[in-house]
Structures are given as C-alpha cells and as structure tokens.
Amino acid sequence: MNKIAIMGAMPEEIEPIISKLKNLKETKYAANTYYEGTYHGKELVVAYSKIGKVFATLTATSLIEKFECDTLLFSGVAGAISPDLNIGDLIIADGLVQHDLDITAFGHPYGYVPEGEVCILTDVALRNIAKEVAKEKGLKLVEGIIATGDQFVADPERKEWISKTFKADALEMEGAAVAVVCDSLEVPFFILRAISDSADMDASFNFDEFLESSAKTSADFILSMVEKIQ
C-alpha cells in the first residue's frame, strides 16, 4: 500500500496541506510533529523538518523508516538563479547538488565526497506526473538543477558562483539532503519549489513578503499531484 510522505522545511510550507487532510492524527517523534491523514483516499504523512540539511535528513529518514512511507514529495520555496524564474514560478529538480560541500583541498570537485555523487537525480515518473499537472492547469513549470546548502543566499557573487559551478537554476537549504536519504534508502522522491526571492541583496525582504504565497502555490501543486499518484 502506497504511503506518501510530504515534507517541507517550515510551517508555512505544509500548513496548506495539513488543512486539507481527513482523519488527521498527530504523532510526536524525534522532537518533531508528524501529521498522518488521508487526501482523496491516499494515505499521507506530512511534516516540516525545520531549516537546513541536518534537520531535513532527520525528517526524511523518519518519514521513511518510522512512518513507512514509500514515496517522498518535498514542497517549499527557493531562491531563483535562472533569469527565467520569477517570484511565484515553480521549479522541479531533475537533480540536486550540495553547494557547500567542499573537499576540493584533496583534488575532488565541489559537491563531491568519496562514495557519493555530485548530483542526485529525482524520480522520472514523479516528474512526469508534475508535467501532466502543469499542462492540465496551464502552469509554467521549469525543470532544472537545484543547489542546496546550509546558507540563506542573499549575495549576487555567491549566487553567480553556485550558478557557474553547478549549472544550478535555483537554490534552497534542504533538497539535496532529502535526495541523499531517499537515494540511499531507494525511495522514489520529488522536489518542488516555488520562487520566493532571487538570492540577491533583496532576498531577505522578498522572502518575508512572498514565503506564504509561494509556499501555498507549491503546496497546492503537490496536492494535485497526489491525486494522480497510483
């Protein structure tokens, strides 16, 4: 039986989903709250991790190991790198990289550690469902590389470096951690983000202004995908 995990980093990213669940049950686990419920007859487990790669790793692992989810969808906001992405636009990751992982002192490329991969790919079937939803709703959906790091980027130079080094289209603070967990545990996963800012000098102001609306745009899209997942 399919049990779908839906994960965000912040309360704003999952509240629009929790508010739609039926038969809601809350469980406290590992200093967090997990919301189990149903949506269109599908069993969901929803949680926000708190910000950053470490918390994201803990929550993704718990959703899979403790709550026995066999598919994981991430919904949230991101800073834009690609000039094609404006506030409110949606991007799905085809691959995720860690922009702050650096053992280049030993001759390795940025984002690489031995026995790991620089870029982890998301599930193709889930990406195809997203494209179907976008087509049906007439929504713009960009597909590209998302770069993750434990850093809120509000600096044009850092943004440019991430863009050049990883060919990334957007950046955030959790996706690649979720990718490592799901890839290692062989759980199909999908990362969706709506743009809240452009990772530049105005990023913190734009983030505060657009977090809620962009988080809802992403959450609504994820719920439409849930209806289509077999």
Secondary structure (3-state) at 130: helix
Cα–Cα distance, 61 to 41 (Å, whole number): 24
Q: Is 21 in the site for ligand ADE (CB under 6 A)?
A: no
Q: Which of 13, 169, 172, 174 is catalytic?
A: 13
Helix pair angle (53-65, 175-184), 10° resolution: 30
Task: Tell me which residues in 130-189 interact with ligand ADE (CB under 6 A).
Answer: 152-154, 171-173
Nearer to ligand ADE, 61 or 218 (CB): 218
143 catalytic? Reply is no
Nearer to ligand ADE, 43 or 150 (CB): 150
Helix pair angle (203-228, 124-137), 10° resolution: 100
197 catalytic? Reply is yes
**Among candidates 60, 196, 80, which has minimal Cα distance to 120?**
60
Tokens of 69: 């989810």
Q: Is 6 in the site for ligand ADE (CB under 6 A)?
A: no
Q: Is 203 in the site for ligand ADE (CB under 6 A)?
A: yes
Smallest gap, in angstroms, from Cβ of residue 175 to ligand ADE? 10
Which residue in the set 189, 207, 210, 221 belongs to the binding site for ligand ADE (CB under 6 A)? Answer: 207
For residue 151, CA distances in Å to 15, 140, 179 come to 24, 27, 18
Nearer to ligand ADE, 191 or 203 (CB): 203
Size of the residue set binding ligand ADE (CB under 6 A): 14
Q: Is 44 in the site for ligand ADE (CB under 6 A)?
A: no
Which residue in the set 16, 37, 79, 175 belongs to the binding site for ligand ADE (CB under 6 A)? Answer: 79
E-assigned strand segments in 71-211: 71-80, 90-98, 120-121, 141-148, 170-172, 189-197
Report the phi/psi class of residue 137: left, alpha or beta, with left for phi > 0 and alpha for psi in -120 to 50: alpha
Q: Is 96 in the site for ligand ADE (CB under 6 A)?
A: no
Nearer to ligand ADE, 130 or 171 (CB): 171
Cα–Cα distance, 198 to 204 (Å, whole number): 9
Active-site annotation, residues: 13, 197
Task: State the residues that interact with ligand ADE by CB under 6 A.
Answer: 77-79, 152-154, 171-173, 196-197, 199, 203, 207
